[in-house]
Amino acid sequence: ENDELNARISAVREQLGDKLLILGHHYQQDEVIEQTDLRGDSYLLSENAAASKTCETIVFCGVHFMAETADILANRPEKLAERDGRRTTVILPDMAAGCSMADMAAIAQVEAAWADMAEVIDTERVIPVTYINSSAALKAFCGRHGGIVCTSSNAGAVLDWAFERGDRVFFFPDQHLGRNTALKMDITEEQMPVWDPYDLDLGGNTEEQLTASKVILWKGHCSVHQMFRAEHVHQFREQHPGIKILVHPECPREVNDLADVSGSTGKILKTVQESPAGSKWAIGTELHLVNRLKAEHPEQEIHFLSPVVCMCATMYRIDLPHLCWVLENLRDGAVVNKIEVDPETTKWSLIALERMLAVK
């Protein structure tokens, strides 16, 4: 069945040529990855969507916030001018491919939190930072309030940028990425209160905690990466002497602190690619990427860090039947599953995204 779908997909790709760009996040399943023009982490894929000149349609094999970001970046005013005003269409093969972490911060909740904290601290001096795993509305919030977007590959540089401009950071939606990054900057856990959007009393904090804060962390997490535990690291170290632990910074602090290397999916891939034969790794990130690394690097010993399956169910929604369906529709002149961010949200989120792209 896959052979038939692959042939149909290839036929459309051949017909559309460089008018079509298929992007794939590292967590996509192998059969989808094989059909992509470019695979990457969130940062690389955003940059690439921003750079595309010839393509008329981007099919994004990833999750909703990634497709939104691609739509915003590919249709920036200067890109539109280069193409005589013609927009690049962005398609998400399955509209139900969301991100449970991004869904943990709704714009109304963030705005309510911002208004509540203004009663205790001067929000003019607070820089809002949103992880790219968030809705375009949150990115627009950051654009409006002097803030910025970050990814797992530039979070440290982005926090430096923020502290050059303000006294505090309000970081959402992932508490773990925010905490793990700030700890490397000598900010202590006591200076990082967690804001619980379901606690209407200052997000569950005292006035003193907020006054003493450097980074206010949103109470959000990735349901996949929160499954990795410190005891898994200890077990691997006991049972496999010499093993190194490689994790994504969305893992909880206890795991991140014990790891040898922590970084974006792009960094995880590069670390393995650049390691000598015989290296031993236990990797704490989404299952499909770890399994692909295992298959591509038989000269190394690669283990999955958790004894239970940790896979991103929404990434997994993108499969060959969905990809084939959107592509054949496109060939026939029908655009299905289009992701288009409204102009006002686009304008403000672009400000926050461009600030990020300018951070080196």
Considering only the stretches 41-49, 50-58, 119-127, 157-165, report the one whose residues sit in contact with ligand 13P under the rule CB under 6 A.
41-49
Instruction: Kindly state the smallest distance separating residue 18's Cβ from ligand 13P, in Å.
Output: 25
Closest CA to 166 of 128, 207, 114: 128
Q: Report if residue 306 touches ligand 13P, rule: CB under 6 A.
A: no
Asked if residue 175 lies in contact with residue 183, where contact means CB atoms within 8 angstroms, the answer is no
List the structure tokens of 198: 């379901």
Q: Which does 42 bind (CB under 5 to 8 A by kind): ligand SF4, ligand 13P, none?
A: ligand 13P
Cis, bond preceding 173 (omega within 30 deg of 0): yes
Give the integer Cα–Cα distance in Å for 151 and 255.
19
305: left (phi over 0), alpha (psi -120 to 50) or beta: alpha
Residue 131 or residue 168: which is nearer to ligand 13P going by CB?
A: 131
Residues that bind ligand SF4 (CB under 6 A): 63, 99-101, 133, 222-224, 250, 286, 312, 314-315
3-class DSSP state of 152: coil
User: Residue 115: CA atoms inside 13 Å, Cβ hemisphere, count?
Assistant: 7
End-to-end CA distance of the chain: 45
Q: Which does 233 bind (CB under 5 to 8 A by kind): ligand 13P, ligand SF4, none?
A: none
Count other C-beta atoms under 10 Å from residue 13's C-beta.
16
Cα angle: 77, vertex 132, 105; to 5 degrees: 115
Single residue of 48, 89, 123, 133 touching ligand 13P by CB under 6 A:
133
Residue 55 or residue 224: which is nearer to ligand SF4 going by CB?
A: 224
Give the integer Cα–Cα distance in Å for 126 and 107.
17
Q: Which does 32 bind (CB under 5 to 8 A by kind): ligand 13P, ligand SF4, none?
A: none
99 annotated ligand-binding residue: yes
Q: Which does 351 bind (CB under 5 to 8 A by kind): ligand 13P, ligand SF4, none?
A: none
78 annotated ligand-binding residue: no
Residue 100 or residue 300: which is nearer to ligand SF4 going by CB?
A: 100
Considering only the stretches 36-44, 85-93, 185-193, 273-281, report the one whose residues sit in contact with ligand 13P under the rule CB under 6 A.
36-44
Instruction: Kindly state the smallest distance separating residue 69's Cβ from ligand SF4, in Å.
Output: 13
List the structure tokens of 218: 């949103």
Which residues define the annotated binding site for iminosuccinate? 25, 42, 131-133, 152, 248-250, 265
